[in-house]
Structure 1
Amino acid sequence: MMASKGPHEHLDLESNSDEDAHLSNNAIHSLTWKDITATVKGRKSGSARHILQNVSGYVKQGELLAIMGASGSGKTTLLNFLSHRINPSTYECSGNVLVNGQQVPTSQLWSLSSYVEQEDALIGSLTIEETLYFAARLSLSKTITKQQRKRRIELLLSSFGIRDQANTLIGTPIRKGISGGQKRRVSVASQLITAPKILFLDEPTSGLDSTASFEVMSFIQSVARKSNILVIASIHQPSSATFRLFDRLLILSAGQTCYFGPPSHLKSFLDSVDCPLPEETNPAEFILEMTNVDFAKNRTGALRRLKFIQETWSKNHAESLNHEMVLVEEAFHGKLLSDEELPKATFFSVVITLLHRSFIKSYRDVVAYGIRIIMYLGLAIMMGTVWLRLHTSQEYIQPFINAIFFGSAFMSFMAVAYVPAYLEDRATFIKERANGLYGATSFIVSNFLIGLPYLFLISILFSIIAYWLSNFRPNADAFFVWVMWLFLDLVAAESLVVLISSIFPNFVVSLALTAFANGLWMSVGGFLVSPTILNVFWRYVFHYIDYQAYVFQGMMVNEFSHRTFTCASSPGSPSACQCMYQTDLAAQCKISGKGVLDAYGYAEHRTGKWVGILVGIIAVYRLFGWIALMLRKS
């Protein structure tokens, strides 16, 4: 249960420093919306279905607006529309949303606002305190000092009743963490610490008991008053005490307005529609009963009553609401902060912060790299013992080639294990980008950089086991060239995961397409079918853009360009030789490894060119992944 906080402690979130005064200015005076309509087409009927119909309203600085209604009434859709987060491919929308009486670009609204989603999108491997710390670092690096940031974190931890759990992990599928109600508090606190001017809350009290709900909303009210924040919250069934905290109330049913105005005027409106509020009854419960017809015993009567309420509101109050909105929009004659004036962290500081956070996540979250390291070590032991101590006689030439193929192709194929970790990181990015914290460039750069040391570690560990057990060319230069190719192979494979998962952010689809793509690269890479005889279509369309092909031929040159093999003796004449490959060493009953390379059409001294092409492929994968993130907003 949350400890009760006095009003003065609630108001201490903002100090009187110059930096905090800048954050508390009156840049946002009002948010108004008029005739919001959203429709979707039914999959079977094809006819339009109204989710929202001509919804209007407003909220002013320092106020809390509650959007109430039964499930399916359009609360979340309206919240998404107001915050410019609605998916245009799903809904056909119309209506205007104005900030200070004027339209603003989506990017600027996102910079001014924060959105707490109904589903908690938190990083499970971080502690509560770390979650608040990184939220502050990503948004306020330029505007507050370390001491101010620490003070805000401490105050939020105390005010939301999570001080004692500050060092507890949020929780992952493998490691138990905090409760669902505590996650709700952390989600709200992590957005408040970013000092938004508009705060959107989707069911902020779900999972909380009545006392905790009141404390959370009471603290939000205090911050809203002090910092002139506009708060819009969809809320299902608040307690009577929580209900009284809101300044304005918007009641929806089937996407239509049943009431808009102060909660104190609700009783008189209910009286006017012959639905008097009983004494000692929670207004929120009564509202849900009046507007929810799904479980009504007399559905026809309930629908008739609901229609009467909506028509009465539209007939008697819609015009006065429009007049109020005009006055609200005209009351402010200043202008919005420009993007340059908004407090933002620099690109460099954002990348460093993301790297720091990803580093903590990576070594704590065994799914991201821990399981992969164990998996690759198991693969190395299997490879090293299957191709154990290969000899330099000609019957081992093909096993050497097979081992090279297995060591490169299957290592990259197993990169599909990175799909769930990347999708989790992407979900966090989508949420934080929508809250104006950073863009796709910062995410792609930090995601690329944080993976490099782990992939290099995997390459080294795998090679230490598999390379020497299999008896590849035994010198340091050859070993580290092998490690280089394996490292580039893994970087390319992980970059392919980033590309596919950015375009198709669904676990099953991403996994299937990544596996298919790697199967394609294995087929045309040069091992299963030599490039010299590969079908023209597959060679010129796919082989030359196949990163596995360059890894395979690089490893082949590394192994065979400086190695010789002994030929077999002829059964009929022990002194005669039978050589699988005819080279200039045939007279010595030996095979030059260059003959193997000639059979595959691989030339020597092209390592630099192949590395350059491979780096280019990696860059293209990341670039296309960046473009996909830029174009896809959800």
Structure 2
Amino acid sequence: MYNNSLSTSSWSQANYGISNLALTRPEPKCPPCFNCMLPAFTCGQFGSCDPYDGQCKCPAGWSGIDCLTPQCGSLADGDQRTPREEGQKCDCKDGWGGINCNVCKTDQACQGFPIFGLPDSGQDDTDPQNMTCYKGGETVFQNHQMCDVTNPAILKQVGDNRPVQVTFSCDETVRTCSFQFWVDEIESFYCGLDECTSETAPDYDFNTISYKCEKLQCKCVPGRFICGQDGSVDIGEFLTQEIKGPASFTCTTGGSKSGSGSGGDADADCKFSEAAMNQLIDEIFGDPYITLNCNGGECLHYSQVPGYSRPTKPDSTRWVALSAGSACLFVLIVALFLWYVGRSGSGGEFVARFKKGSNGIRLPESEEDESAKLMAEHVPASMHFDDLSYVLNSKVILSGISGAVKPGQLMAIMGASGAGKSTLLDILARKSKRGAVGGEILVNGRVVTDEQFRAVTGYVDQEDTLMSTLTVYETVLYSALLRLPREMSEEAKKFRTLETMHELGILGIKDMRIGQSGHRSISGGEKRRVSIACELVTSPSILFLDEPTSGLDAFNAYNVVESLVSLAKNYNRTVIFTIHQPRSNIVALFDQLLVLALGRVVYSGEFGRCGDYFARIGKPCPPGFNIADYLIDLTVQSGIDSRSPSPTLELSSPPEEGTNIADGERTGLLSEDGTELRTRNRPASVSSNSSTTRAYDSIKRKTSQLFEAVSGSSSSSSSTQIQLATKLKYLVDEYKRSDIANEIQEDKENVRSSAMASTENANGNGNGQLPDVAVETTLLRGRKRASWGTQFRILSGRAFKNLYRDPALLMAHYLSAVLLALICGVFYHNVTNDIAGFQNRLGFFFFTLALFGFSCLSSLGLFANERILFMRERSNGYYSSFTYFSSKILFDILPLRLVPPLMFGGIVYGLAGLVPNVATFWKFILALVLFNLTTASVVLWLSIAFESVSVASLVGTLIMLYNLLFAGLLINRETVTPVLQFLHTVSFFHAAFEALAVNELRYLSLKEHKYGVELDVPAATILSTFGLKAQSFWWPDIALLGIFFGVFTVASFLTLHFFVKEKR
């Protein structure tokens, strides 16, 4: 008992003894094991919790005890997938993508993927075959998408170029979806969506896929971006309490990819929207919702791919018709605008305001003051020219020409045909000549520049170059508006126009059109007076006229010369003109006379001293005979070499004044020595019996003279000096030795000295007796003609009048555009979406380009008809070449090249059944209009560069054929040697053809049923087979058309400005 107690006591001491371990602090509690059944633990991605073991069951692509670790490898690996290492990124297997490698990219990646819904047989079956990566966007069973956030504000806020991404997955079997938000491939928050439905809305050009989920719950991953990372913003509470749903995820694809197999990635523009989240995005980033660019994929057996049902063409006829109507309205507005710009009054309101008085018509006081100022503020100009010569191709045309004319005088230059009258007048007027000009020309005793000279001169050409569609009033008015000082009011210019027309007696025909040969118009004499009026209206100080009485009857010829005398006497002008055979009453009006014979001076001086001079040298004019006729006969007969047989034609009586006798026949009025007129009467019997003999002699004489003229010219072609006949040499030498010639030389030197003294005394201010033309023109009158803007407005109005008053070409273009559009609409009506439709489309585009290309050749005559008019008006200082060219482009080219494509395209587009899309329609119109403008610019350059319309037409046809050959339909670009492929690039037909084809066919899918099989081929594939590039609409095609148009337009202007000049 005792022992037992002892032993018990000993045990107790041993058992309750204080251990050394008991003296230390116990260790803290071990962390509890993860158990998703406990409130402290949750499954990420809203994964399910197993109630038996408290572990999370993670969705596909996720691992870890809390389902927050992405998996790598591929979705096909199933349970064998490895989790992503901390701080690393997944390296997906070939054919797979996404942050957690859930998105298939190729069909090959899906090989061996288990067929969804197929029961497991428990046997080791072979891998499933014919699996495909379906990328249509629609969820069939389980779809996974990888998206890039595209909100600029969110991307900017994240910064550091860190990618902001979203993963979106849906399970159709349980109607749930999941949403994860990533920054730099680190998850920030995730959402779970329940009660989801999806809807696919196929459209003709794109598909829209919508997911709508009634319930939504989101949760932050603690310590991540916008979830409290480093003490930053934490939206965890907001996500938990505010985000409840409903939510939507909508994607729009560029085209259905159903059954696309291993086609390229199907990018889609998507948006994720939920009311509370949208408000958060709006308040923080200023965007209405999260915008995404997504790429998805789902592995399916080919039999499980949703069936593709091609949507019917949307009925966009209303919109296309509205666009076509807008185009027609635009054309109408432009036409009204052009009419408004081109309109002008006939001047009737100004005629009504004229007042009748004893002196005829006069202006109202205000306009009369301005007109009087115009007439008064001019520079009186005298001209002295000495020893003028002109050599062309080593042949002397003029030699030793001298003369003088003063303000208030008329100088007439006379001579037989070919004497050099017009050549001398061109030299005096400073016209550009092809040959070499020598000698000296003084204006008021000074040498002036060509620009200064042209500022005070006017020139009326021998041939009338008037625009046939304008009225007489408009023709003269345009000259006044363009050339009179800009300080002068437009009303005063109109009155000045009417005043000039009244002086020339053409006021009564002011509203008549000029007309042209073959059509009813004003007479030739009236045209002549209109040409003179165009120069007289500017009241020039010196006026040159080449044969002003040509084509006029005796009465009107006298009126014209009398008006020139009035201008010279009353307004102190200097008038120099050539005249062929004036009547005696016209001759009596001359102040100065210059007689030429074979380019030599026979007489130059005062007309009143002419008769006495020729009498002194033994060549008196018979009494009662017109001295002008006598001088012409004298010079012609003297120019015939004495070795040639003399004509023996006799007249029974002197000719009546004003009788027109040809040069060759007029010479018969002279005796054999050329000093007397034959006036002997011949017996009537001889006259009647010898008519046949006289006719034979006349023909023989003319033939002999023609032979001698030809042989003489050829024999002297190598000589620089004309061999004068003895009699003509006598007349030339006598004049050189005469007092009259010496007085002209002395007067020239005196005027030169006076001019120098006047300049020194007046210090160049032009106040001396002989004002300096250059100084006076600048200081007194200014001579500032119409500005560029005014020139453009006037020329535009004239060009438009010319176009609509001769509407044959304009109406032909418009009617042909409408008619051919209807014909094309019949033959190409509602083209089908198959191979035949593809061919019809290309044929339609090719025909359309050929139509507008060759119709542009009609523009060759637009400038050719005005070439001479342009050169002369530009030479006379009407306008600059730039303003003429600009108005020509705007009011001649554009109405013919802009409106027809609009009319044609607006009609044919709907009839042919082309892509019924408004944007595509306007791109079609753009390509067509640009092509037409480009072709027109090429044709315009040809019409300017080639003076001959026939040559320009031939070259233009060859250019069109070259462009047709390399348009892209007749020769495949890919089959051409690389060295020569540039021929396609420089073909504007190819640029337009490719642009039209690409615009129409790029997104079209062709269906062809052959041998019981339905083939679905993208039209872009066939385009590439034809050598046409599907991405080439804007660049290079449209860009090249614009470049071609600009280059040829600039080339046309440069050619016009530098090469189309008057050369006489």
- TM tier relative to shorter chain: 0.7 to 0.9
Cα distance change, pair 163–19 in 1 and its aligned pair in 2 (3 A): closer
Cα distance change, pair 378–85 in 1 and its aligned pair in 2 (3 A): farther
Q: 1:233 aligns with which of 577, 585, 588?
A: 577
Cα distance change, pair 26–142 in 1 and its aligned pair in 2 (3 A): closer
Q: 1:37 aligns with which of 389, 393, 415?
A: 389
Is contact 2:853–2:935 with CA below 8 Å preserved after alignment?
A: yes
Residue type of the alignment partner of 1:595: T
Return the alpha-carbon distance in structure 1 between the equivalents of residues 993 and 842 of structure 2: 9
Q: Residue 436 of structure 1: CA displacement?
A: 1.0
Q: Residue 9 of structure 1: CA displacement?
A: 5.3
Return the alpha-carbon distance in structure 1 between the equivalents of residues 897 and 511 of structure 2: 29
Cα distance change, pair 156–13 in 1 and its aligned pair in 2 (3 A): farther
Q: 2:804 aligns with which of 354, 363, 379?
A: 363
The residue that corresponds to 2:17 in the other structure is none
Q: Secondary structure at the match of 1:444?
A: helix
Residue type of the alignment partner of 2:414: M
Aligned counterparts, 1:261-340, within 5 A: 261-293=605-637, 295=664, 296=667, 303-316=725-738, 317-332=740-755, 333=758, 334=766, 335-337=772-774
Cα distance change, pair 80–509 in 1 and its aligned pair in 2 (3 A): farther
The residue that corresponds to 1:592 in the other structure is 1018
Q: Residue 270 of structure 1: CA displacement?
A: 1.7
Residue type of the alignment partner of 1:493: T
Cα distance change, pair 212–223 in 1 and its aligned pair in 2 (3 A): same
Is contact 2:379–2:456 with CA below 8 Å preserved after alignment?
A: no
Cα distance change, pair 192–11 in 1 and its aligned pair in 2 (3 A): farther
Q: Residue 375 of structure 1: CA displacement?
A: 4.5
Aligned length: 606
Q: Identify the range of structure 1 (239-248 vs 364-373) with the bigger mean alpha-carbon deviation.
A: 364-373
**Does 2:841 align with 1:400?**
yes
In the superposition, the TM-score normalised over structure 1's length comes to 0.88
Q: Residue 321 of structure 1: CA displacement?
A: 2.3
Q: 1:257 aligns with which of 595, 598, 601?
A: 601
Return the alpha-carbon distance in structure 2 between the equivalents of residues 518 and 212 of structure 1: 52
In the superposition, the TM-score normalised over structure 2's length comes to 0.54
Is contact 1:363–1:370 with CA below 8 Å preserved after alignment?
A: no
Return the alpha-carbon distance in structure 2 between the equivalents of residues 87 and 398 of structure 1: 59
Residue type of the alignment partner of 1:477: A
Cα distance change, pair 103–508 in 1 and its aligned pair in 2 (3 A): farther
Aligned counterparts, 1:29-108, within 5 A: 29-41=381-393, 48-88=394-434, 91-108=435-452
Is contact 2:968–2:1028 with CA below 8 Å preserved after alignment?
A: no
Q: Secondary structure at the match of 1:532?
A: helix
Residue type of the alignment partner of 1:84: R
Aligned counterparts, 1:114-513, within 5 A: 114-140=458-484, 142-172=486-516, 175-293=519-637, 295=664, 296=667, 303-316=725-738, 317-332=740-755, 333=758, 334=766, 335-337=772-774, 341-366=782-807, 369-381=810-822, 383-450=824-891, 451-513=893-955
Q: Residue 174 of structure 1: CA displacement?
A: 6.5
Q: Secondary structure at the match of 1:17?
A: helix
Unaligned runs of 5+ in 2: 1-355, 638-662, 675-724, 759-765, 767-771
The residue that corresponds to 2:1051 in the other structure is 624
Cα distance change, pair 22–161 in 1 and its aligned pair in 2 (3 A): closer
Is contact 1:13–1:152 with CA below 8 Å preserved after alignment?
A: no
Cα distance change, pair 246–499 in 1 and its aligned pair in 2 (3 A): same
Return the alpha-carbon distance in structure 1 between the equivalents of residues 773 and 911 of structure 2: 67
Q: Residue 175 of structure 1: CA displacement?
A: 4.1
Q: Secondary structure at the match of 2:899?
A: helix
**Deviation by residue 1:459-502 (Cα, 9 ceiling, x = unmatched):** 22222344444443344433332222222222222222222222
Cα distance change, pair 173–267 in 1 and its aligned pair in 2 (3 A): closer
Return the alpha-carbon distance in structure 2 between the equivalents of residues 299 and 511 of structure 1: 56
Return the alpha-carbon distance in structure 1 between the equivalents of residues 913 and 906 of structure 2: 11
Q: Residue 568 of structure 1: CA displacement?
A: 4.3
Q: Residue 108 of structure 1: CA displacement?
A: 3.4
**Deviation by residue 1:548-593 (Cα, 9 ceiling, x = unmatched):** 3322222122221233332241xxxx2225xxxxxxxxxxx23322
Return the alpha-carbon distance in structure 2 between the equivalents of residues 195 and 534 of structure 1: 66
Residue type of the alignment partner of 1:21: K
Return the alpha-carbon distance in structure 1 between the equivalents of residues 1057 and 442 of structure 2: 25
The residue that corresponds to 2:702 in the other structure is none
Q: Secondary structure at the match of 2:383?
A: strand
Greater relative CO (CA pairs within 8 A, separation 6+): 1
**Deviation by residue 1:396-451 (Cα, 9 ceiling, x = unmatched):** 32232122122123312221211112122333221111111211111111111213
Is contact 2:371–2:492 with CA below 8 Å preserved after alignment?
A: no
Q: 1:563 aligns with which of 997, 1004, 1008?
A: 1004
Is contact 2:504–2:559 with CA below 8 Å preserved after alignment?
A: yes
Cα distance change, pair 509–564 in 1 and its aligned pair in 2 (3 A): same
Q: Residue 26 of structure 1: CA displacement?
A: 4.4
Return the alpha-carbon distance in structure 2 between the equivalents of residues 462 and 188 of structure 1: 46
Q: Identify the range of structure 1 (495-504 vs 325-334) with the bigger mean alpha-carbon deviation.
A: 325-334
Q: Residue 505 of structure 1: CA displacement?
A: 2.1
Q: Identify the range of structure 1 (21-30 vs 200-209) with the bigger mean alpha-carbon deviation.
A: 21-30
Return the alpha-carbon distance in structure 1 between the equivalents of residues 395 and 805 of structure 2: 46
Cα distance change, pair 75–621 in 1 and its aligned pair in 2 (3 A): same
Is contact 1:65–1:233 with CA below 8 Å preserved after alignment?
A: yes
Return the alpha-carbon distance in structure 2 between the equivalents of residues 187 and 528 of structure 1: 54
Identical columns (%) = 27
Return the alpha-carbon distance in structure 1 between the equivalents of residues 1003 and 858 of structure 2: 35
More helix by share: 1
Q: Identify the range of structure 1 (370-379 vs 310-319) with the bigger mean alpha-carbon deviation.
A: 370-379
Q: State the Cα RMSD in Å.
A: 2.9
Q: Identify the range of structure 1 (446-455 vs 367-376) with the bigger mean alpha-carbon deviation.
A: 367-376
Cα distance change, pair 629–84 in 1 and its aligned pair in 2 (3 A): farther
Larger Rg: 2
Is contact 1:70–1:236 with CA below 8 Å preserved after alignment?
A: yes
**Deviation by residue 1:507-564 (Cα, 9 ceiling, x = unmatched):** 2222222222222322333332233333445433x54333333222221222212333
Return the alpha-carbon distance in structure 2 between the equivalents of residues 98 and 434 of structure 1: 21
Is contact 2:371–2:496 with CA below 8 Å preserved after alignment?
A: no
**Deviation by residue 1:121-156 (Cα, 9 ceiling, x = unmatched):** 100000111111211111126132233122222222
Is contact 1:52–1:78 with CA below 8 Å preserved after alignment?
A: yes
Return the alpha-carbon distance in structure 2 between the equivalents of residues 400 and 106 of structure 1: 61
Is contact 1:202–1:234 with CA below 8 Å preserved after alignment?
A: yes
Is contact 2:995–2:1032 with CA below 8 Å preserved after alignment?
A: no
**Deviation by residue 1:337-396 (Cα, 9 ceiling, x = unmatched):** 468622311011100110011111110123553344344445545544554554332023
**Deviation by residue 1:42-99 (Cα, 9 ceiling, x = unmatched):** xxxxxx32221121222222322111111111111112222222332xx233223333
Return the alpha-carbon distance in structure 2 between the equivalents of residues 422 and 561 of structure 1: 41
Residue type of the alignment partner of 1:440: S
Q: Residue 271 of structure 1: CA displacement?
A: 0.9
Cα distance change, pair 53–193 in 1 and its aligned pair in 2 (3 A): same
The residue that corresponds to 2:970 in the other structure is 528
